[in-house]
Structure 1
């Protein structure tokens, strides 16, 4: 099975359970924490994805790390994924769950790409403008990519607004080449 299919199946089941138990916010927060720990400690991901490590050893380690900080529902969710041999999909499944949870609560995720760091005021301004345009709360993540040279790229779902200097220069170059080829 593909990663997307597994992540969708398990995240949907978790979403339904969290919704039934009125724990969407809690599960999003706690599973987000698990994903954060896995990102910050790549050894944990490697351990969980290692096929030579036993299921019991994986469950024991997850319990030791998260038992005191996770709700039983979140912890059991991770255990089920391990027991069913889906441990290598945990991070992708959590990401899919968070996306479903935020969509259900009317929250959009947007990524802003800039060439250089931006101030908190500019970030707040972009977030406010996106909230105004979409009519939804927006969680904004800012990426830095010097190759865009300046300007801003905004990605919300499958929609992309590219106001980067590099794109404008590419368009100018194409325009100049077309003009020269006409003569």
Structure 2
């Protein structure tokens, strides 16, 4: 499988590539993708889980036990559970968020999609996501997977990044531009 140099070059990218290849070979891409989506939500919403993955004070053994318990409670698939165990034993849980993003990009490429990283001030409804996918598909001439992040600091609007191109339609950026223009 061909990977972009950027994904393979990073530590999280190497972990994501290994997980992707295992999931692809065992025909478990959908199960692993669903488990990683659950983990991404947990990272965004749970301070305790985020602390577990980033704290240098948690030993390898404690992290491995906590991750095993957490994976069971979240009903993650066995491949993802083993992946988390490897990250915990290697003290790489801090790479989990980046590994999830890299895996999503690899899975999207495998399905023939382009991944668009979208940041909004508020969660988007499924209708809004579908409309955004349709608009991006018409502009890019290929299917688009949306990697959605919520950041209230942008105040409103969207920031859409596809590959190296970024369109910043956030209210924060527009207000900053207006303030800069008014300074003269």
Q: TM-score, normalised by structure 1?
A: 0.72
Q: Which whole-Å CA distance do the structure 1 matches of 2:13 and 2:36 have between them?
A: 15
Q: Which whole-Å CA distance do the structure 1 matches of 2:25 and 2:86 have between them?
A: 18
Q: Which residue of 2 aligns with 1:26?
A: 31
User: How far 1:128 moved relative to its partner?
Assistant: 1.4
CA radius of gyration, larger in: 1
Is 1:38 matched up with 2:33? no
Q: Which residue of 1 aligns with 2:84?
A: 78
Q: Which residue of 2 aligns with 1:98?
A: 104
Q: Which residue of 2 aligns with 1:139?
A: 145
User: How far 1:118 moved relative to its partner?
Assistant: 8.2
Deviations 1:51-79 (A, max 9, x none): 23222211211121212501111100000
Which runs of 5 or more structure 2 residues have no equivalent in the other structure?
Answer: 1-8
Whether the aligned pair in 2 keeps the contact of 1:32 and 1:98 (CA below 8 Å) is no
Whether the aligned pair in 1 keeps the contact of 2:15 and 2:99 (CA below 8 Å) is yes
Q: Which residue of 2 aligns with 1:64?
A: 69
Q: Could you say which structure has the greater relative contact order, defined with CA pairs below 8 angstroms and 6 or more residues apart? A: 1
Moved more, 105-114 or 9-18: 105-114
User: How far 1:11 moved relative to its partner?
Assistant: 0.6
C-alpha RMSD of matched pairs (Å) = 3.3
Whether the aligned pair in 1 keeps the contact of 2:67 and 2:88 (CA below 8 Å) is no
Whether the aligned pair in 2 keeps the contact of 1:111 and 1:154 (CA below 8 Å) is yes
Moved more, 95-104 or 131-140: 131-140
Q: Which whole-Å CA distance do the structure 1 matches of 2:149 and 2:56 have between them?
A: 35
User: How far 1:14 moved relative to its partner?
Assistant: 0.7
Change (3 A) 1:90 1:131: same
Q: Which whole-Å CA distance do the structure 2 matches of 1:88 and 1:61 have between them?
A: 14
User: How far 1:107 moved relative to its partner?
Assistant: 2.3
User: How far 1:80 moved relative to its partner?
Assistant: 0.5
Moved more, 46-55 or 118-127: 118-127
User: How far 1:123 moved relative to its partner?
Assistant: 5.3
Which runs of 5 or more structure 1 residues have no equivalent in the other structure?
Answer: 178-183
Q: Name the SS for the 1:67 alignment partner.
A: helix
Q: TM-score, normalised by structure 2?
A: 0.71
Change (3 A) 1:142 1:94: closer
